[in-house]
Structure 1
């Protein structure tokens, strides 16, 4: 334990040559909301807006003699490695899926400069990864894994060393996001079992929970990719070896739509831009509200690389989770005045955001896709009652994932 802690502290000290420690900041809004003492470890404020450059720095400085580094990533890991390739003046080749947004490609180029080459390969990440690994073997390079690497885990543990330095009295609880497990393994290994931890995964990618249940890493059959920084189908073998033995009740699930409400809350109230994975720890506070009351809690905000082109989707999902927006299929009689009759049933604060005929050739009835926003979720109860009393048939498809995918 002490050897790991010493090495993590040494890594932290070495990092100061490259970037300053990220701030540990008390958040008054969250503290008031949860009646607790809430602090944020702002990893979204590193030079690449995520903690990933820590692991990249430590792994690359320990890979003595390596002149070529290779990775496969479409996100924060790529940017962290690119930044460190420029710092160490070594060559890096980064493989990204062809579908990677141009914004992420350009940011990686900026961080890496002339030291980094980006290759777009494959429509899916598995294809990209296979190509990167084959290239690395052929060229004799050093493959930089995003989390399944002891040096990467040690680099992420520097976060714990900074927390210890900034808060000598410690915290009652640390809440941290989990993807491949490098961050959580580093923090747990540094603090040991005496520090209470809660591990948060997106509901659509709970690979740690599955591994805890099985006693070993398992591959999920399906993963929701919305929380792209933490949507991992299989926890890393090396991280899980360090996480093995944690209690199942300490692994929390964060629904993707609820994460969207947290992202908007932090943006609108605090002016803090978080990516979905970066909001995981804060979002989980609502699941442990009673447990944290009156306690000091640290949440690790792991990243802020949010593409604002995704903001409409985030707002949409947040509204649906909050119950203030629904999608209906309305069966409308094909007679004069039917549409007016329906519109007269709307409340003063009800807003139609989508109106689309789905079946224009119907003789007696037409099917209409409706998107409706209300001020309060309870307003839908009155609207639905008025629709039924007036004889309008409708179907709520808000939570019907198959219909929503095709129609919305």
Structure 2
């Protein structure tokens, strides 16, 4: 059996045909905030802006060695894995068929075609990923093509381990802690398998989106289980079921080592990294940084590496990210008001607003009674505590209102 660290180092060496090691950058802003030595492993700076290229390339490289006649590869993905496979297909001069859901944004389709050039074609099948995956696997059986799994593949895991190889090469000594995002588990399985053998002193934390905690579910159940529901906002890590092979390499982890990141809080982290550091991260790419406040007490004085796994962020989503960040931070709220239908009522209401409050949405929904009307209002403010003063003024005026900011179903329908 091949020694995993040796295989990971060979995969890392082979990757140098594609791109140099991604930067490992000390982040002064985060280091000062937490009193620690915090480094960012910038996987958002690979040629395809995510680590996925590593595993796709390594798996394709090894297939080409063991079966030189195999020139057709297939994957099912609407994101970073598709782009990594496309890039690798063009590098090796082989054909790739990439299955994507019909609902895939055109921007992602165009980027995948740009990386693959004439070597790839896109098949849009299925409204949901499960349908897309089934079509891809059926195509493989019919054409004898090789299916490239996004994470549940030994060679993919080995390729992702190159992130760990580079971290040790770039630091003078092993870090105290490595924080890894988790989706299907390929990255975390590879990096931990390597570091646990060659640098057993390193500790780990795993971060999952709250709405896609497949590793936590697997650790609780003693094996991979399918989540009944997945929040797709953190699309790079929103995986319903951890891989079988990845769990074999992650089953040692304790539940205390797994942290869950609320989707709205991730938006706050994304905006901070963009506005303060000029670093563009996709939701999954921000996971490792997002949990630093939870770890503040235990990382002080330590060397910490956060793997920023990807930066494929569509800026058309920026208004949504800002909206969610403001709501999570308490800087924006939505109310439904029962407004008296008489002259001066609106002016009286507006007088309740403070100097830092701004109306972002104002809409009459319907007249619920002859003398009252229902109003949807969105208010932004500079400091979250301003809302306490605002609601106290509404209470004092006997104004009937309902805060719907955290009412997920109602807010999603109206906002």
TM-score by length of 2: 0.97
Q: How does 1:313-392 map to 2 (within 5 A)?
A: 313-360=320-367, 362-392=369-399
- CA contact 2:73–2:148 (8 Å) conserved in 1: yes
Deviates more, 1:84-93 or 1:330-339: 330-339
Q: Which digits, 9 at most, give the CA deviation of each residue in 1:258-304, with x for residues without a partner?
A: 00000000000100000000000000111111111111100000000
> Which residue does the alignment assign to 1:17?
17
> Which residue does the alignment assign to 2:220?
213
Task: Give distance in 1, aligned partners of 2:6 and 2:172.
Answer: 16
> Which residue does the alignment assign to 1:41?
41
> Which residue does the alignment assign to 1:254?
261
Q: How does 1:217-228 map to 2 (within 5 A)?
A: 217-228=224-235
Q: Where has structure 1 moved over 3 Å in runs of 4 or more? A: none
Matched, 1:159 2:182: no
> Which residue does the alignment assign to 2:402?
395
Deviates more, 1:88-97 or 1:352-361: 352-361
> Which residue does the alignment assign to 2:141?
137
> Which residue does the alignment assign to 1:56?
56
Tell me how far 1:2 sits from its aligned partner: 8.2
Match of 1:125 among 125, 129, 133: 129
Task: Give distance in 1, aligned partners of 2:362 and 2:297.
Answer: 42
Tell me how far 1:194 sits from its aligned partner: 3.6
Task: Give distance in 1, aligned partners of 2:116 and 2:367.
Answer: 54
Matched, 1:230 2:267: no
Structure 1, unpaired ranges of 5+: none
Structure 2, unpaired ranges of 5+: none
Q: How does 1:61-100 map to 2 (within 5 A)?
A: 61-63=61-63, 64-65=67-68, 66-100=70-104
Q: Which digits, 9 at most, give the CA deviation of each residue in 1:165-194, with x for residues without a partner?
A: 111311010001000000000011001154
- CA contact 2:368–2:374 (8 Å) conserved in 1: no
Task: Give distance in 2, aligned partners of 1:169 and 1:325.
Answer: 44
Matched, 1:182 2:189: no
Q: How does 1:268-347 map to 2 (within 5 A)?
A: 268-347=275-354
Structure 2 SS opposite 1:288: helix
Task: Give distance in 1, aligned partners of 2:262 and 2:299.
Answer: 20
Q: Across the two proteins, how many residue pairs are aligned to each other?
A: 408
Match of 2:274 among 267, 271, 274: 267
- CA contact 2:176–2:201 (8 Å) conserved in 1: no
Tell me how far 1:405 sits from its aligned partner: 1.4
